[in-house]
Amino acid sequence: MNRNTRCISSFHREGFVLVMAAVLLAVSGILVGGLMTLAMSYHRMAERQFSRERAFFLAEAGLRAAVTRLNAYSEGNISYSQSRVLLAHTNALPTSDWGFETTLATSSNRSWITSVGRYDGQVAGIRAEVTLGSGQRSIHALYAHALYVGNSSGSTNYTLLIGGQGSGADFVRGDVYSGGNLALSGDARLRLPEEFIHDWDNDGICDPGTDTWHHAYATQYWDRPLTRQEYDAYTNAMAPFKGQFYNNGRYDPGEAFVDTIGNGEYDEGEPFTDLNGNGRWDPGDQFIDRNGNGTFDPGVDTVINLGNGQWDPGEEWTEDPVRPLRQNGRYDPAGGYWQLSSGTWRWRTTYRSGGRTYSCADWPAEAFEDVGDGVYHPAEPFIDQNGVYDAGEEFFDDRNSLYDYGTQAPGQITGMPTPGPGQRAATGNDPPLAPPDLARMYYHVPKTGAPPSDALPRWGHDVLVHRDTFGSERCITDPNDPKHIFIRNPPTSGSVNSRGKTIYGRSYTKVYDNSGQPVDDYFLEDPVDPTFNQIPGEEYAIAQNDNNRTHTMMIDVKNNGNNKVYFVDGNLYIHSPRVYAMRFRQPGTKVTIVARGNIVISDEFYYNANYDPNLQYADMDSTVVKGAQDMLCLIALRNPNCPTNSGNILIGDAQFGTGGSIHAMLYAENDFIDNNLNTVDQQFISVYGNMSAGNHIRLNRTTGSGQYRTRLDVTLDERIRDGSLTAPGLPPPVGTQRSIQLDTAWRIVPGTWQSWAFLQ
What would the pLDDT profile of 523-541 be if each residue is shown by its tens digit?
999 999 999 999 888 889 9
Please name which of 549, 688, 726, 701 lies closest in space to residue 609, comparing C-alpha atoms. 688
What's the pLDDT at 9? Answer: 39
Q: How open is the CA angle 634-640-645, to the nearest 5 degrees?
A: 65
Q: Going by C-beta distance under 8 Å and a sequence separation of 6 or more, which residues neighbour residue 12?
A: none
| Percent of the chain scoring above 90 in pLDDT | 34
Residue 414 forms part of a structural domain: no
Residue 201 forms part of a structural domain: no
What's the pLDDT at 601? Answer: 93
The answer to whether 666 and 699 have CB atoms below 8 angstroms apart is: no
The pair phi, psi for residue 461, each rounded to 5°, is -125, 160
Q: Going by C-beta distance under 8 Å and a sequence separation of 6 or more, which residues neighbour residue 525?
A: 485, 486, 487, 532, 553, 555, 576, 582
| Lowest-confidence region among 292-296, 401-405, 500-504, 637-641 | 292-296
What would the pLDDT profile of 719-759 be if each residue is shown by its tens digit?
888 777 888 999 988 777 778 877 667 788 887 877 654 43
Query: Letter for the amino acid at 699?
Result: L
The answer to whether 528 and 557 have CB atoms below 8 angstroms apart is: no
How far are the Cα atoms of 33, 131, 160, 245, 708 from residue 149, in angstroms, in the given order? 82, 35, 8, 22, 25
What's the pLDDT at 2? Answer: 41
pTM: 0.65
Residue 162 forms part of a structural domain: no
State yes or no: pLDDT of 410 exceeds 90: yes
What's the pLDDT at 341? Answer: 74
CA trace torsion 294, 300, 303, 304 (10° rounding): -80
Domain assignment of residue 124, given as a range: 2-135+750-755
What's the pLDDT at 622? Answer: 92
Residue 22 forms part of a structural domain: yes
Task: Tell which wins on pLDDT, 565 or 700.
Answer: 565
Residue 728 forms part of a structural domain: no
Residue 740 forms part of a structural domain: no
Distance CA 447, CA 444 (A): 9
Domain count, the chain: 2
Mean pLDDT of 108-118: 84
What would the pLDDT profile of 256-280 be if each residue is shown by its tens digit?
776 554 433 333 333 333 334 444 4
Q: Going by C-beta distance under 8 Å and a sequence separation of 6 or more, which residues neighbour residue 729?
A: 73, 441, 443, 458, 460, 461, 565, 592, 594, 633
Task: Tell which wins on pLDDT, 397 or 120.
Answer: 120
Average pLDDT, the chain: 77
What's the pLDDT at 108? Answer: 65
- Quote helix, strand, coil % in the chain, to nearest 5: 15, 25, 55
State yes or no: pLDDT of 15 exceeds 60: no
Query: Letter for the amino acid at 312?
Result: D
What's the pLDDT at 646? Answer: 96
| Lowest-confidence region among 191-200, 502-511, 598-607, 688-697 | 191-200
CA trace torsion 196, 201, 207, 210 (10° rounding): -90
Distance CA 327, CA 323 (A): 7
What would the pLDDT profile of 559-599 be if each residue is shown by its tens digit?
999 999 999 999 999 999 888 899 999 999 999 999 999 99
State yes or no: pLDDT of 635 exceeds 90: yes
What's the pLDDT at 270? Answer: 35
Distance CA 411, CA 505 (A): 45
What's the pLDDT at 751? Answer: 79
What's the pLDDT at 708? Answer: 61
Residue 114 forms part of a structural domain: yes
Element (H, E) at 39: helix 2-71
State yes or no: pLDDT of 626 exceeds 80: yes
What's the pLDDT at 422? Answer: 53
State yes or no: pLDDT of 314 exceeds 50: no
Residue 104 forms part of a structural domain: yes
The answer to whether 120 and 94 have CB atoms below 8 angstroms apart is: no
